Structure 1
């Protein structure tokens, strides 16, 4: 599975310039490539991000999570989320699962990974718990 250059470029922008809050990636089976499906603007929330994920199709995503530590320091962690809802097609789940590690290696700077099959597995509380 090839990775479109735009995926890497947009991820670098998120990481270095913080131009985006999140990026949702989609596998385009016709061209056998991972492509950028949606860019979340810096003012968008985690709820906006989860609402942008399709309820019955797999996706990869990265989310830039901002938080304040117990020492009152402002921090940010980049999460990689493998979204594979139970209602998606078996072929799609297999395709996303088999190409996930290769795709993730292309995005240098991911700090945490979440696998989710329904929204409760990637709730904001789980993200906060992993980041802090």
Structure 2
């Protein structure tokens, strides 16, 4: 009988010890699970924030940066390296959401020919290869980027050209001078000469 009592007395503390170890393990696992859930929530929130920021950037780029037709880059490269053209006029084609080449000016054409090619009431981008003689009597040339936004053009068109300009300019490596004009007087030959020197 004593052996049975001793045995049950020994089992009680062992069982209590096992129970407390189990409780500690359950408690530790519970805390780790809570920490893990917190980490997962943090990661989800962080990912959602980043995803939202990426979506905003994509929307901003699509809203403010028209795609650039490859012909624009190729023709600009010809103007810059081979001097096959005096000027190029670019137009945003809203139908296909791209900047496209509208007109190529031949090497013998003048600055007056170029300005006459710009529409009086529509926005355009243009590049012009301007030849000039320095004060030291050296023959030089500079490539001008001209953002043409006449006062008479549509407000939506002005906004579209203004918001797409920087992205488009980045595609044309080699521009040396930039002009913005809303009126022919703001891009007169005298202004161009002064900016070139």
Using the size of structure 2 for normalisation, the TM-score is 0.67
1:50 matches 2:115: yes
Match of 1:130, SS?
helix
1:102 matches 2:184: no
1:81 matches 2:146: yes
1:70 is displaced (CA, Å) by 1.0
d(CA) in 2 for partners of 1:72 and 1:89? Answer: 44
1:96 is displaced (CA, Å) by 0.1
Match of 1:11, SS?
helix
Match of 2:119, SS?
coil
Which of these residues, 67, 72, 85, is aligned with residue 2 of structure 1? 67
d(CA) in 2 for partners of 1:123 and 1:100? Answer: 21
Using the size of structure 1 for normalisation, the TM-score is 1.00
Map 1:23-34 to 2 at 5 A.
23-34=88-99
Match of 1:23, SS?
strand
Q: Which residue of 1 aligns with 2:76?
A: 11
d(CA) in 2 for partners of 1:58 and 1:3? Answer: 16
Q: Which residue of 2 aligns with 1:69?
A: 134
d(CA) in 2 for partners of 1:125 and 1:68? Answer: 13
Higher helix share: 2
Match of 1:85, SS?
coil
1:123 is displaced (CA, Å) by 0.2
d(CA) in 2 for partners of 1:68 and 1:113? Answer: 19
Q: Which residue of 1 aligns with 2:31?
A: none
Q: Which residue of 1 aligns with 2:178?
A: 113
Q: Which residue of 1 aligns with 2:85?
A: 20
Q: Which residue of 2 aligns with 1:124?
A: 189
Higher strand share: 1
Match of 2:114, SS?
helix
